[in-house]
Structure 1
Amino acid sequence: MNEGPRSQRRAARQARARRRRRTAALAAVAVALAGGVLYLVDGRAAVRGRPAEAATHAATPAAPSGRAATASRSARPAGTATLAFAGDVHFTGRTADRLTATPALGPLSSQLAAADFSMVNLESAITTRGTAQAKIYHFRTTPAALTALRDSGVDAVTMANNHAVDYGPVGLADTLAAQQTSPIPVLGIGPDASAAFRPYTTTVNGVRLAVLAASQVEDLTNAKYRAGADTPGIASALDRPALLAAVRSARAHADVVVVYLHWGVEGSSCPVADQTSLATDLATAGATVVVGTHAHVMLGSGMLGSTYVAYGFGNFLWYGTSPYPHSDETGVTTVTVTRAGKVAGAVFTPALVGGDGVPRAQSGDKAAGITSRYDQLRRCADLAPAPAATS
């Protein structure tokens, strides 16, 4: 049926409206692409991207992803940056299907993405090949895990841990190949010791940042697959002089140096002597922030002089259950640092690992209970409270 004049005018108006909406949408996409790439947080599209700033890591040539743009960050003065940290991550067992979930780390992805820089420990080899080593537990995943973590707001991962080489030399070769094509930096492992200890360096909101990773856990991995002068493997904190030299070198050109360690004793919520002495040495060498995992429970955090130390973040995206009390308690720690190399504050977001292995932020009495127990852990860690972060 032919349209009359009124219907034709209405159709013309609707066509013009559609063109205006398309133009506005294209402009929004252009703005988003200028700042970064699109990603999903809790199923909603958001913009990832920080201003173009220096970012280098020779072992990871792929450019790292940026952070989610937020009003709070844009209001922060230049020379102040936020660093978010969480604990152990696996994509196996009950969390294997998280590789296809959006976002893989669940609701707390938004907490990680809100910081200028965020980091977790990927406690798995990246391989589908190789031979399981002579140990009780073996973990592995595919390179898709690195993309899933990027899309969950993570900027870098450490693989300096006791499961990075669970599948022997073949698995290690695959892991190093995945490192080379990773969308985010993979730290603490490399084709030789120089690469394994090499820091990831970047500048965020005017703060020059250097991040290193190493493992202090005495196990088969540190015994057989420690990176050497011309052999691949993990960065070993058991070679304390090498780690301290790397920190001093990083401090010479960075405002803030972060060291993410694998250390401590499984199930122990208080640091052991090897941890406390290493933390002291790292602080003396120039580390601004020293954090770590391995015990499967949280350990105390706070200030060691002017250095922020978190001895243990516990499990985060967790493949199964742990036999230790409160091992399902976890969270995200966000540390504010300045261009002067100072820690300006720290905030802990309490969470629980659910029956599906996914961590979720808590509120009310549950949050208060987790936070209270976490604060009490500072006593045996002999640390002072961190400054309260300001908005």
Structure 2
Amino acid sequence: MTTRRPAAVALALLLAACDAGGPSAHPAPASTAAAGASAASSASPSPAAPVELTLAFGGDVHFTERTAALLKDPATAIGPMTGELSAADLAVVNLETAITTRGTPEPKEFHFRAPASAYQAIKAGGIDAVSIANNHALDYGRVGFGDTLDAAAAAGMPAFGGGRNVDEAYAPLILPVRGVRVAILGFSQIHTLAESWKAGPDTPGIALAWDVPRAVAAVRKAREQADLVVVFNHWGTERVSCPNEDQKSFARALAEAGADMIIGAHAHVLQGDGWLGRTYVAYGLGNFVWYVGSADTGVLKVQVRGRSVIRADLLPAVVSSTGQPKPLTGSAAKAATDRFAALRRCTGLSPNPPAA
């Protein structure tokens, strides 16, 4: 979507203007025109057909160790799946790093950070918005987190799931996409340093899934403001391909609150997808641009008509030796697609959307 990127930023609600329809270049014969005028005067106009959108999602992205070298050329950093992301009406990933050269490492095992050129790489990769509701956004404290927010604003990269206070952190990012108001919220369900990283009334931080009443209220508010509501969660048990009970419980709460789509990442492996009632859920997209491992990944393409997800397909890939996602083809692609479909068995989700 790089050629049609919305100019919106977090917390901004923009309404797309409607094009005014001009007169026909070839007017109908008089008798036909008169009949049409008579019909128009006695019948209500037909409602416009729902807009169909294609949304694309990737999992965790950072630029650390082997992926740090990718920032030498930000235009090519995301790699060969850039075309799939750019072709979507809206593309979103989880940004699993602080964007800073300052700050003090927090008391935790792994620390990720990258320079501001990471946002250039993300934009060049066809990505339109990033979640910062995760367990690495504050790896270098609130100084580093402030830099992350500042760099996003300077780059024109919409970020959600965190902010300079609790209201900003839980507020939806609302983007106009082909006349559709799409709200995106992000929540972290990771325990590590959650209490010290959460946003407060006057304290920068991230939005937590553990505060279920606040998260549910945020989704309900987004439902009132937008046509389509998407939630991107950071959750799950690392290296476990089945969603845990915390994920399932939170997904139910979000669906009941009005989320149309729930996407997740964090576990470093793919987790299954399907429908929870009318809400589409993809529990885990694994790593996308990552510094270790060679795991299944891909771009999740989701087709939406109005509020309804009518189709979802994983375009399979593998995290390559560069840390970039490399598309799979042929028998390897089919095997990866079959593995992803099999993950649904432990999710409790339906393989198909509900009948209209």
Q: Provide the TM-score with structure 2 as the length reference.
A: 0.85
Aligned residues: 319
- Root-mean-square deviation (CA), in Å? 2.0
- Contact (CA 8 Å) 1:315, 1:328: kept in 2 or not? yes
Quick check: 1:272 aligned with 2:247?
no
1:176-202 CA deviation, whole Å, 9 max, x = no partner? 222332321011111001101111112
Are 2:283 and 1:316 equivalent residues in the alignment? Answer: no
- Code of the residue aligned with 1:343 in structure 2: it is V
Aligned counterpart in structure 1 of residue 119 of structure 2, from 139, 142, 146: 146
Q: Does the 8 A contact of 1:78 with 1:206 survive in 2?
A: no
| Paired amino acid for 1:226 | K
Q: Which amino acid aligns with 1:369?
A: A
User: Does structure 2 conserve the Cα–Cα contact (< 8 Å) formed by 1:216 and 1:261?
Assistant: yes
2:323 is the counterpart of 1:351: no
More relative contact order, 1 or 2 (CA 8 Å, 6+ apart): 2
- Report the alpha carbon displacement of residue 54 of structure 1 after superposing the two structures with TM: 7.8
State the identity as a percent.
Answer: 49
Asked whether the equivalents of residues 300 and 381 of structure 1 are also in contact (C-alpha less than 8 Å), the reply is: yes
Give the corresponding residue for 2:143.
Answer: 170
Match of 1:338 in 2: 305
Code of the aligned partner of 1:58: L
Quote how far apart the aligned CAs of 1:386 are.
3.9
**Structure 1 CA distance for aligned equivalents of residues 325 and 7 of structure 2:** 32
> In the alignment, which of 166, 179, 186 is matched to residue 213 of structure 1?
186
Verify the 8 A CA contact 1:346 1:386 in the aligned structure 2.
no
2:17 corresponds to: none
Secondary structure at 2:138's aligned position in 1? coil
Q: Give yes or no for contact 1:176–1:190 (8 Å, CA) kept in 2.
A: yes
2:150 and 2:178 map into 1 onto residues whose CA distance is 31
Q: Which residue of 2 aligns with 1:197?
A: 170
Letter aligned with residue 60 of structure 2:
D
**AA aligned opposite 2:10:** H
1:251 — aligned with what? 223
Q: Tell me the alpha carbon deviations over residues 129-154 of structure 1, each in whole angstroms, 9 at most, x when there is no partner.
A: 11111111100011111121011100
In 2, the alpha carbon distance for the partners of 1:110 and 1:200 equals 24
Which one has the largest radius of gyration?
A: 1
Using the alignment, how far apart are the partners of 2:106 and 2:225 within structure 1? 39
**Contact kept? 1:78, 1:205, Cα under 8 Å:** no
User: 1:211 Cα shift?
Assistant: 0.5
Q: Which runs of 5+ in 2 are unaligned?
A: 15-48
- Distance in 2 between the 1:115 and 1:236 partners? 28
Q: TM-score under structure 1 normalisation? A: 0.78
Q: Pick from 103, 110, 121: which aligns with 2:76?
A: 103
Q: Is the 8 A contact 1:59 1:195 kept in 2?
A: no
8 Å Cα contact 1:59/1:190 also seen in 2: no
Please say if residues 60 and 185 of structure 1, whose CA atoms lie closer than 8 Å, have aligned partners that are also in contact.
no
TM alignment of 1:1-391, pairs within 5 A:
48-49=3-4, 55-58=8-11, 79-101=51-73, 102-220=75-193, 222-321=194-293, 328-339=295-306, 341-386=307-352
Distance in 1 (CA, whole Å) between partners of 2:7 and 2:105 is 39
1:329 is aligned with what amino acid? D
Q: 1 CA distance for matches of 2:279 and 2:72?
A: 38
C-alpha separation in 2, matches of 1:166 and 1:49: 33
After TM superposition, give the deviation of residue 207 of structure 1 in Å: 2.1
Retained in 1: the 8 A contact 2:13–2:174?
no
Give the structure 1 partner of residue 31 of structure 2.
Answer: none
Contact 1:80 1:206 in 2 (8 A): no
Cα distance between partner residues in 2 of 1:384 and 1:215:
25
Alignment partner of 1:107: what SS? coil
